[in-house]
Amino acid sequence: MTCKIEVEFSRESKEALDEISQKKDMANALSVFIGMSAMIDIFAGNGVIGSSYKISTTDFELLAKSMRSSNPILIRQVEDISARMYLKSSISNQEKVFWRCLYNEM
């Protein structure tokens, strides 16, 4: 199911969509930061032997899990924003349909 609803968003809904966009950008940046910090830890100033040791002792499975950890957090935040917006009495019924659909998609 996808949320294909024609709706003109109010100022409040537009602000909520901007908030979701910012949170998505921050989650992506967090994933990149985690990966880059691991690479810096492995290669920065360690030389060949030190880097080889760091590569052999780095738990890349755990690193991948930590890089993906921002996604469930983002999903929960989008659910919270969607629920909050659905409960607002100041938005139109079409907006409520959109926010309910978005919440259910998460």
pLDDT in tens, 51-87: 677 767 776 777 777 777 778 888 999 999 999 999 9
Distance CA 79, CA 72 (A): 10
Q: List Cβ neighbours of 78 (8 Å cut-off, separation of 6 or more).
A: 20, 23, 102, 106
Q: What is the pLDDT of residue 20?
A: 95
Categorize the per-residue pLDDT at 21 as very low, low, confident or very high, splitting at 50, 70 and 90. very high
Element (H, E) at 70: helix 70-86
Instruction: Provide the whole-model pTM.
Output: 0.74
Residue type, 13: S
d(CA 82, CA 84): 5
How confident is the model at residue 72, as a pLDDT?
A: 86
